[in-house]
Amino acid sequence: MADPAIVTQNLTKSYGHVRALQGVDLEVRRGEIFGFLGPNGAGKTTTIRCLLDMIRPDGGTVRVLGLDPQADPVAVHARTGYLPGELHFDENLSVEKALHYLNALRGHKADWGYIRLLSERLDLDFRMPIKHLSKGNKQKVGLVQALMHQPELLLLDEPTSGLDPLLQQETLRMVKQAATQGATVFFSSHILAEVQEIADRVGIIRKGRIVEVAETGALMRRALRRVRLRFRDEAPVDALASVPGVTVLSAGDGLSVLLQVEGEMDALIKVLARYTVVEFETERPSLEEVFLAYYEAQA
Amino acid sequence: MATIFRYSLRRFLGQILGWGIAFGLIALYLMVLYKPMITQQAELKTLFDAYGETMMAFFGGTTDFLSPAGYLDFTFFSYIPIVAGIFAVVLGSGLLVADEEKGTLDLIMAHPISRAALFWGRTLAFCAATLAILALTWLGFAAGIPAAAWDVSAASLLLPHLSLFVVLVLFGAFALLLSMVLPSRAVAASAAGGLMVVNYLVTSLARVNERLEGLNNLLPLKYYQGGRALEALDWQALLVLLGVAALLMVLAWWRFERRDIRVSGEGSWALPFIRRTARRRAQRA
């Protein structure tokens, strides 16, 4: 099996008295889409910038595509596409000249036809001066430059930031496509819906520590869910309350009941089989609720 | 490194043309002005004598201001390190940090170029831009030789420019080094600019005050020849200045290789006392 795309062990970084990373342990597998979740200031950008040797960690080890970014940053950068969270270009260049320059920095490795193809998908006007572009259009240029050399690893810091919903979807499609073609995608976000939509696994960072790494689906399955029930006769509240993992949240009009179920549903289903259920509705928790649950639990 | 060098030089084009054409025109004007001045040398001598020694010290301290070397020094090369030094200090302090503060360095550094290539590509572009400005200046002086009717070759006029080039590169390198260790470009440019002015004052006043000589010996402008280089270039002084400039560049490079690249909102590069004050204010709020 190939080396993981990213490995960090006990990564620490402080800015003066602020401890931005407090022992981050991460492993991102090759070919997966890994969503890196956390609110602003949790350490997402600091982690990504350590992976690219923009900042030097105080302690711990980092390996990107099997390489030490501090020892060989050029090799890491050659195989990586990066979209910064705070994206700025030389404002005096046109889109075309900016992409030409960035491609020149890559030794003209990117195929210009592919750059045009990506730009067309994002409806990007090559002739526009960067200084006249909206934030969303600048973000498109950033995305094109990150993808143009078809890198093995994509490091995307808030990739859909500033984009309208249609372009957010197109961006996510392009990211998924890159992963389908074999790229590993590591992207940070605080927009949980997009992580839920495309990430194979999710890492949650809080105050510079990883508090959870899990398959996106498993993380959601593991969480609490709500069940709304309507019975033909009086709701068997006591019987339901006695089921392990079930909490009765409200009993409503006597026929309806709202439950909170932790873990598997099997025991509840078996109890319900004894009654006539008119309506059965479950609410899957959004990743947002899962995320908040982590924060509330550990706060 | 070649891509960085070419791109940086292209970015400096406006400054090269602005400074270079302005200096070139001044140079040409001064050469055209030489002959009319020589016809009034008696009046000028009376005027300059009236200025006094201290005043003249700020214009190179020359008394022979009608020889080609003295005239060049008095009218241009004695004070131009301070004027052109503004260009050197502004460009040097912002060579890397300006992009860092604008946030554009992050993206560039994510590309497969080493920090060394980025640093030296830009530093060499700065040297080339300085050279280009001085080449335009030289062109102005050289074009004015017939008007001044001097018995000097255009090639010999390169010597004062060479002396000026080295001192400007040194000021730029100093500003670059300060930008690597101080919290912002503005602070680095102000500090480097301030020290440059202090250097000019000390070197000028040392011509009339012997007590300043000890301090003056440590300052770069002491070893700057200016117009006097037309008569005989002091290669030893030139190489010393060049060596110091190279040392400052190497120190700046060493620092750049080891430091974090800042982005706005991440980390704090404030000086410790500013950080403490900000923390106290935050606590009070």
ipTM over 0.85: no
- A225 strand-pairing partners: A261
Which residue bears the tokens 């402080």?
Answer: A14
Confidence of residue B37 (pLDDT cuts 50, 70, 90): confident
The 10s digit of each residue's pLDDT in A114-128 is 999 888 888 888 888
Distance CA A123, CA A36 (A): 28
Q: How far is B139 from chain A (nearest CA, A)?
A: 30
Given B11, B108, B260, which is nearest A55 (Cβ)?
Answer: B260
Contact between chains at A88 and B112 (C-beta distance less than 8 A): no
Q: Which of A1, A2, A5, A3 is nearest to A183 (CA)?
A: A5
Q: Do the Cβ atoms of B102 and A102 come within 8 Å?
A: no
| Token duo for residue A217 | 């689906």
By CA distance, what is A55's nearest residue in B? Answer: B260
Cβ-defined contact of A15 to B11 (cutoff 8 Å):
no
> Vertex A19, ends B260 and A204: CA angle to 5°?
100
Measured CA to CA, the distance from residue A4 to residue A28 in angstroms comes to: 6
Nearest-CA distance B114 → chain A (Å): 6
What pLDDT does A286 receive? 62
Q: Which of A34-48, A165-179, A218-232, B36-50 has the lowest mean pLDDT?
A: B36-50
In 10 A of CB B74, how many CB atoms?
Answer: 24
Q: Which of the residue ranges A182-196, B117-131, B190-204 would you say has the lowest mean pLDDT?
A: A182-196
Chain B contact for A71 (CB, 8 A cutoff): no
- SS3 letters across B12-36: CHHHHHHHHHHHHHHHHHHHHHHHH
Do residue A52 and residue B265 have CB atoms under 8 angstroms apart? no
- The terminus-to-terminus CA distance of chain A in angstroms comes to 38
Give residue B27's pLDDT: 93
Contact A154, A187 (CB under 8 A): yes
**% of chain B residues with pLDDT over 90:** 45
Give Cα B228 to chain centroid, integer Å.
18
**With an 8 Å Cβ cutoff, are B11 and A46 in contact?**
no
Q: In this predicted structure, what is the pLDDT of residue A213? A: 86
Write down the pLDDT at residue B159.
Answer: 92
- Tell me what pLDDT residue B267 has: 41
Q: Read off the pLDDT of residues B156-214 as tens digits, 9 standing for 90 and up.
A: 999 999 999 999 999 999 999 999 988 888 889 999 999 999 998 888 888 777 888 88
Bridge partner list, A82:
A155
Q: Which of A217, A140, A143, A135 is nearest to A185 (CA)?
A: A143
Query: A 204-243 residues with CB below 8 A of B?
Result: none
- The C-alpha atoms of residue A48 and residue A55 are separated, in whole angstroms, by 9
> Greater confidence, A162 or B284?
A162
Q: Cβ distance A219 to A276 under 8 Å?
A: no
Report the mean per-residue pLDDT for chain A. Answer: 86
Q: Tell me which residue in B106, B107, B266 faces A46 most closely, judged by beta carbons.
A: B266
Per-residue pLDDT, A290: 65
Mutation for A interface: B111, B113, B271, B277, most A CBs within 10 A: B111
Interface of B with A (CB under 8 A): 3-4, 7, 11, 102-104, 106-115, 258, 260-261, 263-268, 275
Side-chain-side CA neighbours of residue A164 (13 Å) = 5
Cβ pair B264:A86 closer than 8 A:
yes
Closest listed residue to residue B129, CA positions, set B99, B160, B90: B90
Rounded to a whole number of angstroms, the distance from the CA of A15 to the nearest CA of chain B is 5
The tokens describing B125, both together, are: 């572009």
Lowest mean pLDDT among A64-78, A174-188, A256-270, B77-91: A256-270
| Predicted local distance difference test score (pLDDT) of residue B265 | 41
- Taking CA atoms, B151 is separated from B63, B67, B68, B154, in Å, by 20, 11, 9, 10
> Would you state the pLDDT for residue A192?
72
Report the residue of chain A nearest B268, measured CA to CA: A15
Distance CA A206, CA A144 (A): 30
Tell me if chain B has a CB within 8 Å of the CB of A130.
no
Q: Which of A74, A85, A89 sits opposite B112 (nearest CB)?
A: A74
Contacts of A89 in chain B (CB under 8 A): 104, 107
Among the partner residues B111, B260, B265, nearest to A102 by beta-carbon distance:
B111
Alpha carbon of A75: minimum distance to chain B alpha carbons (Å): 7
Q: Out of A54, A78, A88, name the one closest to residue B109 (CB).
A: A54
Per-residue confidence at B268, pLDDT binned at 50, 70, 90? very low
- Token pair recorded at residue B222: 């002491």
Residues 6+ apart with CB under 8 A from B247: none
A-chain residues near B112 (CB < 8 A): 74-75, 77-78, 105-107
**Which string of b and e fits A219-255 if b means at least 16 CB within 10 Å?**
bbeebebebbbebeeebbeeebeebeebeeeeeeeee
Q: Is the pLDDT of residue B271 over 60?
A: no
Mean pLDDT score, B261-266: 63
B268 → closest Cβ in A15, A75, A86 = A15
Nearest CB among A52, A88, A105 relative to B104 is that of A88
Q: What is the pLDDT of residue A155?
A: 94
Please indicate if any CB of chain B lies within 8 Å of the CB of A45. yes
pLDDT at residue B182, as a whole number = 87
What is the Cα–Cα distance from A148 to A101, expressed in whole angstroms?
13
Q: Amino acid letter at B85? A: G
Instruction: With beta carbons less than 8 A apart as the criterion, state whether A217 and A64 touch.
Output: no
Lowest pLDDT segment from A15-19, B81-85, B98-102: A15-19
SS (H, E, C) chain B: CHHHHHHHHHHCHHHHHHHHHHHHHHHHHHHHHHHHHHCCHHHHHHHHHHHCHHHHHCCCCCCCCCCHHHHHHHHHHCCHHHHHHHHHHHHHHHCCHHHHHHCCHHHHHCCCCCHHHHHHHHHHHHHHHHHHHHHHHHHHHHHCHHHHCCCCCCCCCHHHHHHHHHHHHHHHHHHHHHHHHCCCHHHHHHHHHHHHHHHHHHHHHCCCCHHHHHHHCCCHHHHCCHHHHHCCCCHHHHHHHHHHHHHHHHHHHHHHHHCCCCCCCCCCCCCHHHHHHHHHHHHHC
Contact A161, A85 (CB under 8 A): yes
Amino acid at A91: E
Q: Do A90 and B106 touch (CB under 8 A)?
A: no
CB B241 within 8 A of CB B167: yes
Work out the pLDDT band at B111, boundaries 50, 70, 90: very high
SS (H, E, C) chain A: CCCCCEEEEEEEEEECCEEEEEEEEEEECCCCEEEEECCCCCCHHHHHHHHCCCCCCCEEEEEECCECCCCCHHHHHHCEEEECCCCCCCCCCEHHHHHHHHHHHCCCCCCHHHHHHHHHHCCCCCCCEHHHCCHHHHHHHHHHHHHCCCCCEEEEECCCCCCCHHHHHHHHHHHHHHHHCCCEEEEEECCHHHHHHHCCEEEEEECCEEEEEEEHHHHHHHCCEEEEEEECCCCCHHHHHCCCCEEEEECCCCCEEEEEECCCCHHHHHHHCCCCEEEEEEECCCHHHHHHHHHHHHC
Q: Give the C-alpha separation, B163 to B170, whole Å.
A: 11
CA atoms within 13 A on the CB side of A159: 32
Structure tokens at B96: 């890397």
pLDDT at B163: 92
Domains in chain A, please, with CATH?
A: 6-220 (3.40.50.300), 223-298 (3.30.70.920)
| CB-based contact B263 A56, cutoff 8 Å | no
Comparing CB atoms, the residue among A55, A74, A85 nearest residue B261 is A55
Percent above pLDDT 70 for chain B: 86
Chain B: give the shortest CA distance to residue A227, in Å: 43
A contacts of B115 (beta carbons < 8 Å): 73
Residues paired with residue A260 on neighbouring β-strands, in sequence order: A226, A247
* pLDDT value of residue B123: 96
Calculate mean pLDDT across residues B35-49.
75
Question: Is the CB of A86 less than 8 angstroms away from the CB of B112?
Answer: no
